[in-house]
Amino acid sequence: MLVAASTLPKQLAAAELALPDRLYTTEDTTHGKRRLFDGVSLRGWRAIPRLDPGALLANGDVPMEELEARTLAHYRAQPDAEATLEHKGKWEVIDGAIVGGQQPSGSGLGAYLITEEKFQDFELEFEANHDWPIDSGVLFRQHPLGAMGYQFSVEPRPRGNNGGFYVNGIGNFRSAPFYIDALELPNFKYTHVTQGVHDSRPFWPLDYAAHFEDFVKIWRPSDWNTFRLRCEGKVPKLTSWINGLKIAELDYANVWMPGFNPERAQKYLGGPGHIGLEVHNSPPGGMGRNRWAPGAVTRWRNITIQPR
């Protein structure tokens, strides 16, 4: 069942008018937990292209007030600039879940669906049921350009990282407890999850990492899994859980990588930012369809946040 905001039943539209702050109304008055997704529309969210300022920032610091203009200028100089700048993905609400994919299918172009609101310290919870193979995740403290922010990885794919972290824009490095592989089935399904191998991307070890043997006991292939992320501090300490199992913990105040140090982290990613759902790009070459199979989609539901 596809629900578009313009086709909501009249009685539901009336209810929306009667409760204009329904999406942002506090549901738990003790802890301030609230919904980011109302289950029927994309109200409070907007789609943006997946633009990456990483190459620009790799050459040194760029003033924040110049970052957007210089990144756009970089992309406009590319031969496929129009397609990249115009692509915002395909985002729908189907059966109570946000469904995201490339548009058109197989285009190889990425995008984000980001919150209008910004957050700094919080606990985020959501359920996800992604197709296989997909490279996805949730960005937070995200710059409205696109691929700049911290990332909570949700990657059902070969050498995928579930519950670990990635830093986009400055450093571009992973911190994962383990990697996965699986037996692919028809219609983007999968089974028999096994431990995968590390890829060649830069890596920083976690302060706490779950064992793969514990993860595989609680993980539900081709089904809904529950994720929780805690983010706190200007140079944040991150903690993640999947289906109640603690997966990863990392204090970025102790991380020193090429392009990343605590001072730079506070400068570029220390304040409030958007929360964004990712559709990764998948250009020819590289990981091929293992990054994003043509026709594959992400699914997200029951998204809540508790600011801290």
Residue 199 has pLDDT above 80, yes or no: no
Residue 229 lies in a domain: yes
Residue 255 lies in a domain: yes
Phi, psi of 46 (to 5 degrees): -145, 150
Structure confidence by residue, pLDDT tens digits, 87-96: 999 999 999 9
Check residue 291 and give left, alpha or beta (phi > 0: left; psi -120 to 50: alpha). alpha
Secondary element (H or E) of residue 173: none
Least confidently predicted of 18-27, 34-43, 239-248: 18-27
Q: How many Å apart are CA 149 and CA 170, to the nearest integer?
A: 8
Phi, psi of 218 (to 5 degrees): -105, -10
Mean pLDDT of 9-21: 32
pLDDT confidence of residue 31: 56
pLDDT confidence of residue 302: 98
Residue 22 lies in a domain: no
Residue 2 lies in a domain: no
Q: How many Å apart are CA 301 and CA 59, to the nearest integer?
A: 39
Q: How many Å apart are CA 283 and CA 124, to the nearest integer?
A: 31
pLDDT confidence of residue 6: 35
Mean pLDDT of 216-235: 98
Residue 146 lies in a domain: yes
Q: 100 by DSSP, 3-state: which?
A: strand
Cβ-Cβ contacts under 8 Å for 106 (sequence gap 6 or more): 294, 295
Residue 16 lies in a domain: no
pLDDT confidence of residue 288: 82
Residue 1 lies in a domain: no
Residue 21 has pLDDT above 50, yes or no: no
| Confidence grade of residue 4 (pLDDT, cut at 50, 70, 90) | very low
Query: Any idea what the CATH number is for the domain that residue 144 is in?
Result: 2.60.120.560
Structure confidence by residue, pLDDT tens digits, 47-85: 999 999 998 998 889 999 999 999 999 999 988 888 899
Q: 200 by DSSP, 3-state: which?
A: coil
Give residue 170's domain range: 33-307
Least confidently predicted of 115-119, 235-239, 279-283: 279-283
Q: How many domains does the chain have?
A: 1
Q: How many Å apart are CA 185 and CA 132, to the nearest integer?
A: 9
Residue 7 lies in a domain: no
Residue 29 has pLDDT above 50, yes or no: no
